[in-house]
Amino acid sequence: MSTSYEAANDAFDFDAPESYQTGGTFLAEGDDGTYHVEVSAIERDPKNAQGQIIQNAAFKVTFLVLDGTNKHGVGKTGNFILFHPDFSKGEKSVEFARKRIGRFFVATGLRSENDPTRDAAGNPIKVQVNLQAAVGRQFIVQMETTEYNGRKNFGLSFANMFHVDDPEKSGVPKDSAALANYPAQFRRKPESFMSGKPGAKASGSTSGNGNGNGSAPAKSATSQPTKSATAASQSQTVTADDL
């Protein structure tokens, strides 16, 4: 029996979707998981959909998902916004906002969790970090859907950001090819992750390039760029006063 592939004209008009790929191209509700990602962009003073600067926003992190616990999210783009502390909301809120920003710097290797955080008087140590040095860095991030006042929101889970070599997240699926091409000066040995007193200075601890304090490790002559640009040419810094 032969089959004819000729068909009667039955024209149907429709508006094409943004992509013909399965699912969306951006992480969204339902893509909850812990992911191995690479920073693709850092935006200071991010704007909302109406083009207005988001109140109290410090910077926006955009990333590409390389691998993770939820395979539906792999290959998608995600983002989250970190905010300046709001001193009107009390000490706990201020510390949480600082911790989120600090965890991002630790996760991307711009700071170390072993770096001192307070001076002799107990005041926060002033730190300067080149934000654009985070572009091209890889890290681990947990994204989740939450509900508040009947409204669901998808985004960063608390301050759950980790360095790619953090033993605590050794079980998270990672893109082995991307890690193989990740410059050696951004990697860490398991013993460098100290679980002792927060802010204690560990011997041999490192804060990767972009840290305003301490010396950065020398670059490897054989390091190759990752999927994103290794660093944007425009220098942007953030200090403790910004936080």
Helices (H) and strands (E) in the chain, counts: 2, 7
Amino acid making up residue 187: R
Sheet architecture: strand order including 57-68 = 77-83, 57-68, 33-44, 138-148, 151-163
Task: Enumerate the domain spans of the chain.
Answer: 33-239
Q: What string of pLDDT tens digits covers the 243 residues of the chain?
A: 555 667 677 778 887 765 555 557 999 999 999 999 999 999 999 999 899 999 999 999 999 999 999 999 999 999 999 999 999 999 999 999 999 999 999 999 999 999 999 999 999 898 899 999 999 999 999 999 999 889 999 999 999 999 999 999 999 999 999 999 999 999 999 999 975 444 444 444 445 545 444 333 333 333 344 545 444 434 455 554 444
Element holding 148 (H helix, E strand): strand 138-148
Q: What does the pLDDT read at residue 15?
A: 77
Q: What is the CA radius of gyration of the chain?
A: 21
Which stretches of the chain are DSSP H helices?
Answer: 91-107, 176-180
- Pull the structure tokens for residue 101: 């920003």
Task: Kindly report the number of other CB atoms within 10 A of residue 50's CB atom.
Answer: 5
At 3-35, the pLDDT tens digits run: 566 767 777 888 776 555 555 799 999 999 999
Distance CA 155, CA 78 (A): 9
CA 190 to each of CA 106, 112, 166: distance values in angstroms, whole numbers, following the listed order:
14, 13, 7
Phi, psi of 91 (to 5 degrees): -65, -40
Total residues found in the chain within this entry: 243
For 107, which DSSP code? H
pLDDT of residue 230: 41
Q: What is the pLDDT of residue 11?
A: 79
191 backbone dihedrals φ, ψ, rounded to 5°:
-70, -10
